[in-house]
Amino acid sequence: MSTPLIMFLAFIAITLAITYWAARRSSGATAYFAAGRRITGWQNGIAVAGDYMSAASFLGIAGIIAFQGYDGFMFSVGWLVAYLTVLLIVAEPLRNAGKYTMADVLAYRLRPRPVRAMAALSTLTVGTFYMIAQMIGAGTLVALLLKGSGIDYSRAVVLVGMLMVCYVVFGGMLATTWVQIVKAILLMMGTILLSVLVMAHFGFSFAAFFDAIAHVKDGGKVVNFLNPGLRYKPPYGALDLISLGLALVLGTAGNPHILVRFYTVPDARTARVSVAWAMAIVGTFYIMTTFLGFGAATIVGKEFIARNGGTNMSAPLLAQRLGGDIFFAFISSIAFATILAVVAGLTISASTCFAHDFWENVIHHGKPQDPRTSVRVARLTAFAVGAIAIALAIGLSNFNVAFLVGLAFAVAASANLPVIVLSIYWRRFTTEGAVAGLATGLLSSLALIVVSPSIMGIDAPTVAHAARHLIQMKPLFPLENPGIVSIPLGFAGAFIGTLMSRVDAHAEHKFTEMEVRVNTGLGSEKASAH
């Protein structure tokens, strides 16, 4: 058996052991959906980081920097700064007002059925985009690493899908949390090691490293990769950058799988501490994408990467060049672990959303259900989500994963963030406003993605089938990322919907209750007694 295969199997064995341990400990709905709210601040901080640093961060950003230099680093910056939105505006109110899902905050004072139905739709859409990106990363990675072992792209995608369903179905939020913690620690170790090796390659001289970045051979030319503009070019590059920035900074706080993590801690104060921990870890990681991305650009070179798996494989190929096949296997296993943990987080948030928002509250009108049945519904949903993600990922294997996740963030920022913020901070906000905001944000971001240059474009007949645009016509919308248009539309939908509807006295009265609850923690969900 080859070394890479042994490393993969070792990681899978560890995570299954965690799942077995968690399955024996967790019973009841709070345990399954929120790990009993007994995760501590630093544990949850590491888990948030583990939930967040996805294939997009590790494989995707490294790839964009390796191919297009500085512009890729803009993803790194935006993804850290985004945590300020989470910390200052969303995390604590969400923890105090809700129970299991993002929609709990909306349903606190608005009519639960319409807002939960819309929020569930939007949660599942964001989760699907995000999940496809992860599965594509996993598929290409495993196919490259285990070349000749009979495990190709499609089989790798199926394997990831089955594992994630296993964690979530048997281990619930507790297993997901610990898989994320183990993964975050492994990813940080791997990234630090790889960064040190990059610097060792340059004799630990930053001058030599940056000098190499300023003189990257690209085709026949020498290009300065520290200069912006290699990806985002005129005439629309500047707007696209701002659009991406908006989507990243506002999208994190609208990402359901990140938000549900704040229900796993005992109170809002612990939620805050966990954001601080996450910012320390995530920020350090994103600074190190400098070494991963520019290291791959200078040491490996984009021609080689393009021929061996494409942009998403930049970091693993860098590891191979610097540390040989064993280190390549080690880094690839970490990337694989990264993907599994994120996918598990996405799956549990999607299945919680379906069971809690849709099944309990929309179908059964919020009448108390047997918690065992709710958990069973969630487990069945996890199966369905796994199957859909596998099918889509096999169909869409050629997208850069950071880019796809950027789109997921745009949808989250356009649909979810406006209604979360307005329901916490605007007394007048109504059910009609929430539904209109969610619907305009969701539809406009999706529609703009479909007519953008990422989907539409006319390819020369020489372009390979897999790399062709999905729709062969001139793009109707010039930007790759729809955020700059769809986020204001999401807010506008929420405002106009509210102002056109009658004043909701009940919602306004409940606003006072929610404001007190959010700011003092009075009446908020407590940790389970165990």
Partner 1 sequence: MPIDSQPPPAGDWDRIAESEEFKDLMAAKARFIVPATVAFVVYYFALPVLVGYAPELMKTPVIGPVNVAYLFALSQFFFAWFIAWLYMRAAAKFDAMADKTLTQLQARKDAERS
Does 526 contact partner 1 by CB under 8 A? yes
Q: Give yes or no for residue 210 binding partner 1 (CB under 8 A).
A: yes
In whole angstroms, what is the distance from residue 284 CA to residue 192 CA? 10
How far apart are the C-alpha atoms of 183 and 384, rounded to whole Å?
Answer: 25
DSSP string over 3-47: HHHHHHHHHHHHHHHHHHHHHHH--SHHHHHHGGG---HHHHHHH
What minimum distance in Å lies between the beta carbon of 45 and partner 1? 12
Q: How far apart are CA 349 and CA 177, in angstroms?
A: 12
Length of the chain: 530
Q: Determine if 226 is a binding residue for partner 1 (CB under 8 A).
A: yes
Query: Nearest approach, Cβ of 382 to partner 1 (angstroms)?
Result: 29
Nearest-approach distance from CB 381 to partner 1, in angstroms: 28
Q: Please identify which residue in 185, 287, 306, 388 interacts with partner 1, judged by CB under 8 A.
A: 287
CA of 443: how far to CAs of 135, 400, 476, 483, 487, in Å? 24, 23, 16, 12, 11
Residues 6+ apart with CB under 8 A from 303: none
Interacting residues of 296 by C-beta distance below 8 A, sequence separation 6+: 62, 63, 65, 66, 305, 314, 315, 317, 318
Q: Please identify which residue in 207, 460, 464, 467 interacts with partner 1, judged by CB under 8 A.
A: 207
Residue in the structure block whose two tokens are 């341990």: 21
| DSSP-based three-state secondary structure for 327 | helix
Closer of 132 and 297 to partner 1 (Cβ)? 297
Q: What residues from 35 to 94 belong to the interface with partner 1 (CB under 8 A)?
A: 70, 73-74, 76-78, 80-81, 83-84, 87-89
| CA distances from residue 224 to 216, 286, 291 in whole angstroms, order as listed | 6, 21, 16
Task: Give the footprint of partner 1 on residues 247-286 (CB under 8 A).
Answer: 249, 269, 272-273, 275-276, 279-280, 283, 286
The single residue among 20, 217, 227, 474 that binds partner 1, judged by CB under 8 A, is 227
Q: Is 409 in the site for partner 1 (CB under 8 A)?
A: no
Q: Which stretch binds partner 1 (CB under 8 A): 149-157, 207-215, 342-350, 371-379?
A: 207-215
Say how far apart CA 41 and CA 47 lie, in whole Å: 10
The CB-of-40 to partner 1 minimum distance in angstroms stands at 16
Binding range to partner 1, per CB under 8 A, among 347-355, 474-482, 489-497, 512-520: 512-520
Tokens at 64, concatenated: 């964009």
Q: Per rule CB under 8 A, is residue 517 in the interface with partner 1?
A: yes
Binding partner 1 (rule: CB under 8 A), the pick from 111, 192, 229, 399 is 229
Binding site for partner 1 (CB under 8 A): 70, 73-74, 76-78, 80-81, 83-84, 87-89, 207, 210-211, 213-214, 224, 226-229, 232, 237-239, 241-242, 244-245, 249, 269, 272-273, 275-276, 279-280, 283, 286-287, 512-513, 515-517, 519-523, 526
